[in-house]
Structure 1
């Protein structure tokens, strides 16, 4: 069985063919039930708590029964990642400006990762090629082409945008996890982090110190909104030059 240790993988259950479901007489479960239970476990206890044995206990079957539905743990993780992406709002308003719609999808992707912090780790380890992920990319590429990008520039622009969201969220969820584990609130973290950071900077890093003193640079919502607007504005300018 393939091991899941966070190593990037080039293969995918979605590209190799999804295992068939067993006849209903052989199993009272469905893959949807298995995946939904795994998501609840991940949300409650994190990625480290998920094992096929633990999942089987939670759904009330023998561990081997799970392999009718998910051939490997890697496949399970791909299924849960794509299932979670199904919560994305990828609807398109034909009358709305393309950049604002792309921005909305990016914001929604960040929301999903914040709600399911383990998603950040999976996105770093598995290809986002399930049907819900592909629906997201298809919509974003359609919007980019509407804005003036031509193939393959539309794909490159969308990949850059999604990578920005994933990278930002990966940094953000580290602190979300730390706060959950410690019981601290955002203001507590800020009070603990900023004074020693300023002391460490001293006079050796004057521009960084001035910027931190001018306003908290790590207010996550403002920081993300600023970066995302830079991304979308840059895409608009580049699209005006036909990609």
Structure 2
């Protein structure tokens, strides 16, 4: 069964169409990089699929059903810049928010919940910062906490919107190790990514997007000079050239 199936999806901002005729089918256990130029609709695609932005047309199914019926199987990490990091809360509480879909917004987390949150922080090397206010964390540390919040959900399908932007090399290495471990555990991960130089090292599948799907499939088949230049309008110098 497909973990995600998208048929004829389109969306707009005001009168500007930002996605059209988007079709793809994702099988379980893949790590996909979504790449394309600025304004290609990469972040919008995630938001439309997750019903955070309205669609004009099309259908999206998760595990053969609707998002409403499968929400506990889906995790989402938005762009770090879209989050109010001045909100007065600590790292542990941020991670616990990832469990609210299961324990309910009006119930206090119990010891088991807090233990799970601490385990997620530990996986991201942030256990020592559990009581630290999130505004006091560096950008890389904030991103690790946000990823820990997604991990604690124990989802089967993860969407991540540019998780590597603005982080240091050590954090990037830690995040990619986590994403590859998720794939090894049979999870499915889709990542909006900006650095073409690391696509082949980081992802086994790639989606080339410029308002519609240019190509999607295994990285060795899709990530070619011709297809990348087609995605970026033909003006991009191929990074493998001397």
Q: TM-score range by the shorter chain?
A: under 0.3
The TM-score with structure 1 as length reference comes to 0.25
More strand by percentage:
2
More helix by percentage:
1
The TM-score with structure 2 as length reference comes to 0.25
Considering only CA atoms, is the larger Rg found in Structure 1 or Structure 2?
Answer: 1
